[in-house]
Structure 1
Amino acid sequence: MATRIPPFNSQQLEAACRVLADTERGLSGTQIERLLQEIEVADTSPSITKWKRLFNALAEVQNKHQMGNALIMFINRAMNPVNYARDPGMFARRRDELNVVLAFSGFYVRDDGKVAYADKATTLGVARARAGRLKAALENRVVHAEVLNYCRAELLDENYFHAVFEASKGVAERIRSLSGLTSDGADLVNKAFAGQQPVLVLGPLSTESEKSEQRGFSNLLIGLFGAVRNPLAHAPKTNWPMSEQDALDILTLVSLIHRKLDGVQKVAAVSTRLQ
């Protein structure tokens, strides 16, 4: 973020520092020292408690310049995913805790560790919801990992409309990856799963039941694109309300589709007849 960010109040700054420099799970003293050096902020009190040390350093530079950029710069470096290669769970926990705190200031930490703008939360309940209520509900349903791969940023902001849109686009992208095809929508589905020579098959297609399942799965995919993805692509968010329950149900359907795609086989120049 190159723009000038208004100063954070002392409560917001303290809360962020407590997450980043928690006594047991936070950054080490050495890490704090290095990161402060990287953003060219003086380490004014290196011998005190870690979170207070970080708070004092960031508060001083914020008061001096009357802007909150230093905290954002520090978080961007502290949350670099490369630093969490051996402990991705720590990245997720720290990000979620920061998102609760930052929600009150109109920011959140994306999956790539960078801070981005979000609508300000006014209550702790809204902040916690934005930090992952829908994501938690999906995890409780044990949804396929591919669902979250395409909509994590949107989920953090409780943006149901775009979460569903991105997840449904992800289905098309995965079909293209599995099949080698380049088309989209119903045309992609028909070339990949329908006709006398489908590119992708759910099974041997040697029985009428197997052929029926193949046709049904093809129709299910066309239904997803026709009833969900295509309208979302062309309608403003304000004209297409998306409730939490609708989002959960649609994303669960997308999960089922990905589980089916896990088992498909690509057919190489073999005449596989569905009719």
Structure 2
Amino acid sequence: MTKALFTAGQLEGLAGALGDTNDGLTNPEIGYLFAQCRMIDPGPMTKRLRVYNAFVEVQNRRQDRTNILEFIRQGLAPARFVREPHRFEPLRARVNKALAFSGMVVTEAGRLEIAKAVSTLPEAERRARELRSDLELRRVHPDVLRFCRAELLADDYFHAVLEAAKSLAAKIRDKTGLTDDGSTLVDRALASKPPMLAISPLVTQTDLSRQSCFASLVRGVFSLFRNPTAHEPRIDWPMSREDAEDILTLISMLHRQLDATYMPVRTP
């Protein structure tokens, strides 16, 4: 990831995203990151030009993009946005839109990962429009539609599905207060006796079977998409739009079920 060089156009796009007037980093943040990443601060000017000139200088001097990638990693580290969480996603979206042409993506966890590069911005945006349109016709859950963004779909739909799967875990944690993830989260929230979140009265054997099947479905989604990517940058899955639509529709159904769950009384 570090041997290739960014083109001038790619650097301009990154600088525009990181130095955006509304969603970008502040001038003090930029100065701090320059120092942390051992980059020369070009001095007072617009944020966009400040970042662009610093990026050009360090890449030309070192003939690699190591420092630039470290700037992006540190600049989009989620821990930096604890006090202002509303800033993180808009900035990540802008940076990912610029990175789509370089074959990279910043994940929800703030990690830089390899992605399939797009050759044109309309290509990524067209994918987003087409997928979103199809899913709207299916009336999928609004929490799923949020992941039909161009910067995610630059990677053959895989990252949109991955991020949508993560949203299931986030909803379960929000509703239960648990901090677990993956199968452990499903076991504690949906498969315990009684479960913390129930989709039925849990009176008849049919109720219990429905609850067990629901937990298995959620666990299956996590196992299929979440677990492999915890250890590898990207699993080898050339996902088509049709595959993505079917999987996102399944995730939509799971979201609606989670919305309708209740917390059974738990005896000591």
Q: Normalising by the residue count of structure 2, what TM-score does the alignment of the two structures yield?
A: 0.69
1-side partners of 2:47 and 2:223: how far apart? 51
Match of 2:18 among 20, 39, 60: 20
Answer yes or no: is 1:62 the counterpart of 2:59.
Answer: yes
> Could you say which residue in structure 2 is the equivalent of 1:214?
207
Answer yes or no: is 1:5 the counterpart of 2:16.
Answer: no
2-side partners of 1:17 and 1:229: how far apart? 35
> Could you say which residue in structure 1 is the equivalent of 2:262?
263
2-side partners of 1:164 and 1:31: how far apart? 30
Q: Is the 8 A contact 1:7 1:66 kept in 2?
A: yes
> Could you say which residue in structure 2 is the equivalent of 1:101?
98
1-side partners of 2:241 and 2:21: how far apart? 43
Q: Deviations 1:150-202 (Å, cap 9, x if unpaired)? A: xxx987842167568778897854331236xxxxxxxxx6xx5xxxxx53355
Give the counterpart letter for 1:175 in structure 2. V
Match of 2:194 among 196, 199, 212: 199
What are the ranges of 5 or more consecutive residues in structure 1 without an aligned counterpart? 180-188, 193-197, 270-275
Give the counterpart letter for 1:217 in structure 2. R
Structure 1 residue 9: deviation in Å? 0.4
2-side partners of 1:28 and 1:168: how far apart? 32
Q: Normalising by the residue count of structure 1, what TM-score does the alignment of the two structures yield?
A: 0.67
Q: Is the 8 A contact 1:178 1:266 kept in 2?
A: no
Between 91-100 and 121-130, the greater mean CA deviation after superposition: 121-130
2-side partners of 1:117 and 1:127: how far apart? 16
User: Mapping of 1:161-200 within 5 angstroms?
Assistant: 172-178=183-189, 192=192, 199-200=194-195
2-side partners of 1:23 and 1:61: how far apart? 23
Give the counterpart letter for 2:204 in structure 1. K
2-side partners of 1:13 and 1:26: how far apart? 15
Give the counterpart letter for 1:16 in structure 2. L
Give the counterpart letter for 1:265 in structure 2. P
1-side partners of 2:154 and 2:46: how far apart? 31
User: Mapping of 1:226-241 within 5 angstroms?
Assistant: 237=237
Structure 1 residue 204: deviation in Å? 5.5
Alignment RMSD, CA only? Answer: 4.4
Aligned residues, how many? 239
Structure 1 residue 119: deviation in Å? 1.1
CA spacing shift, 1:131–1:88, aligned 2, 3 Å: farther
Q: Is the 8 A contact 1:96 1:132 kept in 2?
A: no
2-side partners of 1:61 and 1:238: how far apart? 35
> Could you say which residue in structure 2 is the equivalent of 1:243?
243
Q: Is the 8 A contact 1:164 1:250 kept in 2?
A: no
2-side partners of 1:120 and 1:143: how far apart? 26
What are the ranges of 5 or more consecutive residues in structure 2 without an aligned counterpart? 170-180, 228-235
- SS in structure 1 opposite 2:49? helix
Q: Is the 8 A contact 2:141 2:256 kept in 1?
A: no
Give the counterpart letter for 1:249 in structure 2. T
Structure 1 residue 249: deviation in Å? 1.3
Q: Percent identity?
A: 22
Give the counterpart letter for 1:85 in structure 2. V
> Could you say which residue in structure 1 is the equivalent of 2:70?
73
